[in-house]
Amino acid sequence: MEGYLMPIVLPQPLNLCRKDQDRPESTSSYCTQCDPCSHPRKFCDNEKVVRNPWFEAYRDCSSADCMEEIGDAIDELQQSLDELGHVGRGSNFWFQMSDIQTWVSAALTDEDTCMDGFEEHHLRGRVEAVVRRYTVNVAHLTSNALALINSYASSKAALP
């Protein structure tokens, strides 16, 4: 197999939501509202999250850029998944695979760019460490996906 597979790391959701044992329905609703994976742009602007004191540094310059990059990566990965559902239908296989490879590669670039803002603004600390850990995990998974997609395309090229 060509390419390098990163170690498989299963992502875990960010635990930013306060657990309210007396009102579990409000907890689940709030956690859904501030889920950075499902709604990155909404998460960044969520009033309850923004009022959290340690979030202030995260909210500044770098965080908004990072969340935008992650949002773009999610969109690109979704496009690639949608296209994967149509691969092989018709004579467009190589065009479809090229699109998929481009989108997954762009998502990987977006994930890497997410961290650039923290380095550019010399932000260090708890928030940067948490964001870096999750972003690196997602980048590893995206890298694995790209390697599998490349392998799939190569295997089709080898067929008569």
Helix (H) and strand (E) counts in the chain: 7, 0
Please, what is the average pLDDT of the chain?
68
Nearest to 55 by CA among 138, 113, 128: 128
For the entire predicted model, the pTM comes to 0.59
Rounded to whole angstroms, the Cα distance separating 69 from 73 reads: 6
pLDDT for res 61: 56
Q: How much is the pLDDT for 103?
A: 94
Q: Name the token pair of 33.
A: 């509202």
- pLDDT given for residue 136 in this prediction: 85
User: Residue 132 corresponds to which tokens in the numbers above?
Assistant: 């870096």
pLDDT at residue number 105: 94
pLDDT digits (tens, 9 = 90+) for 99-145: 999 999 999 999 888 877 666 655 566 777 777 888 888 888 999 99
Considering only residues 160 and 87, tell me which one the structure prediction assigns the higher pLDDT.
87
User: 73 and 107 in contact (C-beta within 8 Å)?
Assistant: yes
Q: Which two tokens stand for residue 141?
A: 């998974």
Sequence-separated (6 or more) residues with CB below 8 Å from residue 33: 39, 42, 46, 48
Give CA–CA dist 29/27, Å, rounded.
5
